[in-house]
Structure 1
Amino acid sequence: MTRITQRKLPEGMNLWRTEELHAAGFNDRKIAALVRSGVLVRLRRGCYIRGSTWEAQKPWIRSRQLIAAHAHGTLTTAAGGFVYSHTSAARLHGLFLWDVDDRVHINTVTTPSRTSHGVDVIPHTRALSPSEVETVQGMPCTSLERTVVDCCLMLNFKQCLIVVDHALRMGANALVLQDMCHSLGGRNGVINLRRALENADQKSESPGETLTRELILRLGIAMPELQVEVTTKKGKHRLDFAWRAKRLALEFDGKVKYFDYAPTGEVIYRERQREKALMELGWRFIRITWQDLFREHEFKVRLLRALQE
């Protein structure tokens, strides 16, 4: 593999087209052998990534690399005329997505043919204004607001709420989103977009927190405040959700909270010290994980019992 040299690729990617591997001295049989051994991973027809790079990446990075593989295989050989849109644009912008497949969405200037794109590509033909197109990670992409609206027209309500929460947190213009929503009239999917805009909260810091809030809303339980700051003898601490009058806190314990930013033991120790300081002030805690969000009856009973104490 030392004979393969990197070309100018989309930021953060490490990809080769088949002809680039040929030029580096690898025929089809050698490429196939490298794929079987795991040295290379075939991302799509005619595009490969180094296996060690692929294996080391988190799922959301892999999803962006699949878009980069499409870009590397098409933008450099085709006449152009398309931009990445919908959930592909959301991934390029870095928006949270939940339970969404990895198909590549593009917006084209001409009517798409069923045979002109791969089975992993979904073409669209919505007319875009210049303000609705920008370059993200070196690739043409719909603007943040256009991306949010397009996603919400094809996703379910929970997925929409996650996208809108995060987009607002990233600085999406809420007035622009509202105007775009009003312009859609009776378009399919607009109801989910409208509901998401009505119930969005930019204070949500993760898909888990958004889904927790959606569940509380759907169960008809009094909505808590988000990201509540409480001062203790150990300093200021922020709670994911809190009912101040009840001094009840609800914390969503996703793995990212413990594993991505510091050694696990250290993070958990600090978390328990923080909780101890809050409990001395009379605060009680309910901790939930992803699994609890799908045990709705148990969640409701547990939360109502705590609120009634």
Structure 2
Amino acid sequence: MTQLPPLPAAGNLWRTGQLRAAGLNSRAVRQLVSSGGLVRLRYGCYIRGALWEKQSASLRSVQLIHAHAYGTLTTSTGGFVYSHTSAARLHGLFLWDVDDLIHLLFRVRPSCERLGKDIRGHTRPYSDAEVITRATLRVTTLERTTVDCALMLSYRQSLIIMDNALRLGADTSLMQAAADGLAGQRGIRNLRAALANADASAESAGETLTRELITRLQLPKPEAQVEVRSRAGWHRLDFAWKDKKVALEFDGKVKYFDYKPTAEVLFQERRREKALTEDGWFFVRVEWKDLFREQEFKQRVLTALRR
């Protein structure tokens, strides 16, 4: 069995030149990639395989952006700005069903050959006030990022980002002013609809999609993030029809946020539900798959409300 060449002791992310300087020629790099010791993130940039394996899907998406910056020697004085869903990831916004393409904002449109297959270039005019620096990278502001995403993505994807941006403190007036100046722009209807229907109380993409589905199916509107008291203390419900004592809880947070709840968290959650059930509450629990079985979802809610 051929012994694999050792990786550099220091660091986890390397450009091709750095690997060569550490004594790894092209053949050695290919061997390491084939064995999983190295993972090629993009042309000319590699990450330690053991680190990549440990990263969640959301963290990997952010890592790809940093790999682009590292591989192209980008610094805070670079000639472009990370924008759209790339900026959304760097701001920590929720994203749903979005690819890992890297989006860059330029003053002047560059050639496609220069960008590469994993890059999308944009040139909608921007001001210096719409650019900030995050972790040494030039990124569009929270408001500009949210507007750009809403112009590019579907309505539901846009609503998720808008909800989360408001929760993180985005200025609605700035986004509304931007929308007012974009009449006729592709995607403007999505942007306006997302602005009109956004709710900063949503704590996950799943909660946003649940609210959107309830509205679209013309179901009775519940209150969001409802606080109720039981013998076990105060509890906050994702959605509730208080007059009917019906609660709707979205159970997809574990899958979406790439973490597993502790046994204590699960125990307390079930303890809370038991206490509220004793007080006459009825629970409708929703998972990701339920959001795409719309008529079944509608019937479950209506049955609960009629009980």
Smaller-chain TM-score bracket: over 0.9
Task: Please report how far the alpha carbon of residue 74 of structure 1 lies from its aligned counterpart in structure 2 after TM superposition.
Answer: 1.4
Paired letter, 1:288: V
- 1:37-58 C-alpha deviation (Å, 9 max, x unpaired): 0000000010000111111111
Q: How does 1:74-93 map to 2 (within 5 A)?
A: 74-76=72-74, 80-93=78-91
Partner residue of 2:289 out of 265, 288, 291:
291
Q: Given the two structures, how large is their TM-score scaled by the length of structure 2?
A: 0.94
The 8 Å contact of residues 112 and 125 in structure 1, kept in 2 or not, is answered as: no
Task: Please report how far the alpha carbon of residue 112 of structure 1 lies from its aligned counterpart in structure 2 after TM superposition.
Answer: 1.5
Task: Please report how far the alpha carbon of residue 137 of structure 1 lies from its aligned counterpart in structure 2 after TM superposition.
Answer: 2.1
- 1:109-162 C-alpha deviation (Å, 9 max, x unpaired): 222201111100001112221110001122110000000000010100000000
Q: Is the deviation greater in 106-115 or in 91-100?
A: 106-115
Distance in 1, Cα, partners of 2:77 & 2:211:
45
Q: How does 1:48-87 map to 2 (within 5 A)?
A: 48-76=46-74, 80-87=78-85
Partner residue of 2:203 out of 202, 205, 211:
205
Q: How does 1:120-159 map to 2 (within 5 A)?
A: 120-159=118-157
Aligned to 2:3: none
Q: How does 1:11-30 map to 2 (within 5 A)?
A: 14-30=12-28
Aligned to 2:192: 194
Is residue 276 from structure 1 mapped to residue 274 from structure 2 by the alignment?
yes
Task: Please report how far the alpha carbon of residue 267 of structure 1 lies from its aligned counterpart in structure 2 after TM superposition.
Answer: 2.2
Q: Is the deviation greater in 92-101 or in 121-130?
A: 121-130
Distance in 1, Cα, partners of 2:269 & 2:166:
28
Q: What root-mean-square deviation, in Å, do the aligned CA atoms of Structure 1 and Structure 2 show? A: 1.7
Task: Please report how far the alpha carbon of residue 80 of structure 1 lies from its aligned counterpart in structure 2 after TM superposition.
Answer: 2.8
Paired letter, 2:198: A
- Unaligned 5+ runs, structure 1: 7-13
- Secondary structure of the residue aligned to 1:41 is strand
The 8 Å contact of residues 250 and 286 in structure 1, kept in 2 or not, is answered as: yes
- 1:170-200 C-alpha deviation (Å, 9 max, x unpaired): 0001111111111101111010011011111
Aligned to 2:166: 168
Distance in 2, Cα, partners of 1:300 & 1:277:
26
In percent, how many aligned pairs have the same letter? 57
Aligned to 1:3: 8
Q: 1:163 to 1:187 in 2, by over 3 A?
A: same
Paired letter, 1:244: K
- Unaligned 5+ runs, structure 2: 1-5
- Secondary structure of the residue aligned to 1:111 is coil
The 8 Å contact of residues 112 and 124 in structure 1, kept in 2 or not, is answered as: no
Paired letter, 1:236: W
Q: Given the two structures, how large is their TM-score scaled by the length of structure 1?
A: 0.94
Distance in 2, Cα, partners of 1:259 & 1:76:
29
Q: 1:154 to 1:271 in 2, by over 3 A?
A: same
Say how many residue pairs are matched.
301
- Secondary structure of the residue aligned to 2:164 is helix
Paired letter, 1:205: E
Distance in 1, Cα, partners of 2:82 & 2:265:
38
Distance in 1, Cα, partners of 2:162 & 2:137:
22
Aligned to 2:235: 237
The 8 Å contact of residues 76 and 137 in structure 2, kept in 1 or not, is answered as: no
Task: Please report how far the alpha carbon of residue 260 of structure 1 lies from its aligned counterpart in structure 2 after TM superposition.
Answer: 2.8
Task: Please report how far the alpha carbon of residue 76 of structure 1 lies from its aligned counterpart in structure 2 after TM superposition.
Answer: 4.2
Task: Please report how far the alpha carbon of residue 215 of structure 1 lies from its aligned counterpart in structure 2 after TM superposition.
Answer: 0.4
Distance in 2, Cα, partners of 1:26 & 1:184:
52
Q: Is the deviation greater in 162-171 or in 136-145?
A: 136-145
- Secondary structure of the residue aligned to 1:99 is coil
The 8 Å contact of residues 206 and 253 in structure 2, kept in 1 or not, is answered as: no
Task: Please report how far the alpha carbon of residue 281 of structure 1 lies from its aligned counterpart in structure 2 after TM superposition.
Answer: 1.5
Aligned to 1:11: none
